[in-house]
Amino acid sequence: MRQRKQLYEKSAAGRRIRRRRETLGITRHEIAQKIGKAEKYYADIERGYCGMSLDTMINIADCLGITLDYLVFGEAAEKDGAVSEETKSILFYLENCNEEKQKKAMELLKVYLAE
């Protein structure tokens, strides 16, 4: 069986990255700092002006809580298929908090959902 060839499009990947960053409310400056790159370089990635190394892709995907499949091809991995963007955002924020803040967030969530 012949498989369909998937193509990496820098501009489409950049749009997905920008959309996810904006959904999370993170600035370009913050992401650039987290991945150890210049803000201009990161901005050029979002605009689709330049490609990126695999290491950079991995770092961006980790920072934004997305899979490499989604970053590169726009496809959600099977395990993520049933998870909404809102749920992914909540998980992203919880994963980036210390243990004390996570516990407090869970307590608040339980109180709110019990209503």
User: By mean pLDDT, which of 2-16, 24-38, 68-82 is the weakest?
Assistant: 68-82
> In terms of Cα–Cα distance, which of 79, 78, 57 is closest to 8?
57
pLDDT the model gives residue 90? 78
39-62 per-position pLDDT tens digit: 999 999 999 999 899 999 999 999
Mean pLDDT to the nearest integer, 20-49: 94
Give the domain ranges of the chain: 1-81, 83-115
Mean pLDDT to the nearest integer, 73-99: 71
User: Which tokens belong to 8?
Assistant: 């990496």
pLDDT the model gives residue 3? 59
Give the position of tokens 């919880």. 94
Mean pLDDT to the nearest integer, 97-114: 83
Residue 5's pLDDT band, with cuts at 50, 70 and 90, is low
Greater pLDDT, 80 or 35 = 35
Task: State the Cα–Cα distance between residues 50 and 24, nearest whole angstrom.
Answer: 23
Q: Are the C-beta atoms of residues 42 and 31 closer than 8 Å to each other?
A: yes
Rg from Cα positions in the chain: 16
CATH number of 1-81: 1.10.260.40
In the chain, the amino acid numbered 64 is: L
